[in-house]
Amino acid sequence: MKNNSVFNILRMFVVIAILICAVIAVFLILDISALHELKEALTKALLVIATLATASLFTMYVLRLKK
């Protein structure tokens, strides 16, 4: 049962991370931010969030293999 709740938390995190990545990507594509520093910060945030989402997906895969 505990494994299932961790799986659900990771799944929710991945969904939220994908939505945040989509919003940041739209901001970068539409070039809404005029400041170079803001563009750089958005790019770094996109990289960090995507990395965390990928790590969560890998953890979910490992948890499924253990079942």
pLDDT digits (tens, 9 = 90+) for 7-63: 888 889 999 999 999 998 888 888 876 788 888 888 999 999 999 999 999 988 888
- For 2, 47, 56, 67, the CA distances from 29, given in Å and listed in that order, are 41, 15, 26, 41
* CA torsion through residues 33, 36, 37, 40, sign: positive
Extents of the domains making up the chain: 2-66
Indicate whether this model's pTM tops 0.85.
Answer: no
Vertex 27 angle, CA 25 and 32, to 5°? 155
